[in-house]
A and B are shown apart, each in its own frame.
Chain A
Amino acid sequence: MIELKEVRKSFGKQEVLKGISLKVEKGEVVAVVGPSGSGKTTLLRCINFLEKPTSGEVIVGDLAVAAGRAHRKEVLALRRKTSMVFQQYNLFRHKTALENVMEGLTVVRKLPKAEARERSVRLLEKVGLGAKLDAYPSRLSGGQQQRIGIARALAMEPEAILLDEPTSALDPELVGEVLAVIRNIAKEGITMIIVTHEMSFAQEVASRVVFMDQGTIVEEGPPGELFARPKEERTRLFLSRFAPEGSYSI
């Protein structure tokens, strides 16, 4: 479904991704964890070429795009096969909730307005925002905005959804509503790669966890194994920060 082959990315002299190879099967939910600055965001952004990899190859479905000779048309096709949910939501701020979800359907997929509208309303109802169709993002809470962001991503019927720390800009009391929505779509068998710091959530929804550090994949495995018995010292060190002794003493 998604495959990365030896993907490298440098910003100037700094190599941020040092040859990442990763394979994600259809219907898999892969959680990417790791310290900040380890290249998780860059990795996601290389999949839809928001960052152009310096070298390597990105394969989504039947489309393989090599970094060196990525044609504009191929990049567009790649982006139409994937959707992205941003840490800062990035909703179109001059458009209502409904228009945000419809935009890609009418402009990119060229669906008739009525059909786009119908599908968008259905998705917004599904993420619990059926009552906020005509609200502008600035009038909505972060949790509501992010749920619209997820509806917008789902609307495109992508082969995979890329989520970059979808809850880390949220106030703690709003995290739950967004995780609940992601949990639901995970159950529907949609392929997802999700960068997150919510370890218990990753444990619950992910079929596989990938631990990244300093631009490399240090280790990967089913959440039960990786969280309980990390093989690498770096993984252990990182995870220890998320399960402090304090968490038992409540």
Chain B
Amino acid sequence: MEKPELRYVFEFIPKLLSSLHTTLLIVAASMALGLAIGVLVALPRLYRVPVLQRLSQLYVSFFRGTPILILLFLIYYGLPELLKLVHIDVTRTPVLVFVILTYALHSAAYISEAVRAAVEAVDRGQTEAAYAIGMTGFQAFVRVVLPQALAVSVPVLANQVIANLKDTSLAFSLGVMEMTGKAQTLVAATRHFIEAYVSLAAIYFVISLILQKLFQIAERRLLKYEGPENAEPSLPFKERRRRRLFGSSAMRLPWKEARADEA
């Protein structure tokens, strides 16, 4: 290992950023796909569809309980074998596709749980109003329930995006040249470990910050319909959001309680 020198950090950062697009592609594509799969996986449990409901539960347990690295290997090596059985050849499919699929399936497990909770938190009267004007179940779900559920799920989705961002650092184990993979090659070429990983950490950190900020803006936009409520005019925005998600029963955070006592 070489003696650490700061100038390497400045040298490495632009080099690492040249692989940023791969990292972001994995995150964006897996989130988009994961959101779609997540909603689909949530449906059988929301509508209590007999057999599918159990399958969806199994899906969630499996993808939440298995380390993502193992999922990567399982899907990259296992899926082609499975598909061979039905005579589909995926040997020419880029690795990136398997990586995106893995992260999508993994996020979908978390997303489906979030969407399910959020959908159940939407007031029953909303669906009834939709039915009363003659909407079908599908129309009521897509037009009325889902938009409200997704709006309150934004913080959970934001967490998932950040988690995916960090998890992309495992994709290099399949040889995908995203940022962490790039860092490995820089290390191999220069032997400046510390600088490479400091640069890498700085980039992940800054991107996370930017994403969090963007999601805050998105959340404010999506929930702009939640103005001051007439019944509870003094409740701050976050408290109202919390109540919608978790009900109005007190779930105080201990340090907040302490502060309230002092006052």
Which residue on A lies nearest to B229, using beta carbons? A138
In contact, B132 and A136 (Cβ under 8 angstroms): no
Q: How large is the interface on B (under 10, 10 to 19, 20 to 34, 35 or more residues)?
A: 20 to 34
Q: Is B91 an interface residue (CB 8 A)?
A: no
In contact, B134 and A80 (Cβ under 8 angstroms): yes
CB within 8 A of A136: which of B130, B148, B225?
B225
In contact, B226 and A138 (Cβ under 8 angstroms): yes
Question: A80-94: contact bitstring with B at CB < 8 Å (1 yes, 0 no)?
Answer: 101110101011111
In contact, A94 and B225 (Cβ under 8 angstroms): yes
Which residue on A lies nearest to B224, using beta carbons? A136
**Chain A count of residues within 8 A CB distance of the other chain:** 30
CB within 8 A of A79: which of B131, B147, B229?
B131
In contact, A93 and B133 (Cβ under 8 angstroms): no
Q: Which residues in chain A, 68-112, are within 8 Å of chain B measured between CB atoms? A: 76, 79-80, 82-84, 86, 88, 90-96, 103-104, 107-108
In contact, A79 and B132 (Cβ under 8 angstroms): yes
Nearest Cβ in chain B — how far from A60, in angstroms?
12
CB within 8 A of A48: which of B126, B132, B139, B225?
B132
Question: A109-136: contact bitstring with B at CB < 8 Å (1 yes, 0 no)?
Answer: 0000000000000000000000000001
Q: Is A152 an interface residue (CB 8 A)?
A: yes
Q: Is A241 an interface residue (CB 8 A)?
A: no
In contact, A50 and B151 (Cβ under 8 angstroms): no
Residues of A contacting B130 in the complex (Cβ-Cβ under 8 angstroms): 92
Q: Is A53 an interface residue (CB 8 A)?
A: no
A142-B230 contact given A93-B225, A107-B135, CB 8 Å threshold: yes
CA–CA, A97 and B133, complex, Å: 16
Residues of A contacting B125 in the complex (Cβ-Cβ under 8 angstroms): 86, 88, 90
Q: Is A139 an interface residue (CB 8 A)?
A: yes
CB within 8 A of A139: which of B128, B143, B228?
B228
Residues of A bordering B, CB below 8 Å: 48, 50, 76, 79-80, 82-84, 86, 88, 90-96, 103-104, 107-108, 136-142, 152, 156
Enumerate 18 A-B pairs (CB-CB under 8 Å) in ascending A order.
A79-B131, A79-B134, A80-B133, A83-B132, A86-B128, A90-B125, A90-B126, A90-B129, A93-B123, A93-B148, A94-B144, A94-B148, A103-B143, A108-B133, A136-B224, A136-B227, A139-B227, A156-B133
Residues of B bordering A, CB below 8 Å: 123, 125-126, 128-136, 139, 143-144, 147-148, 151, 224-230
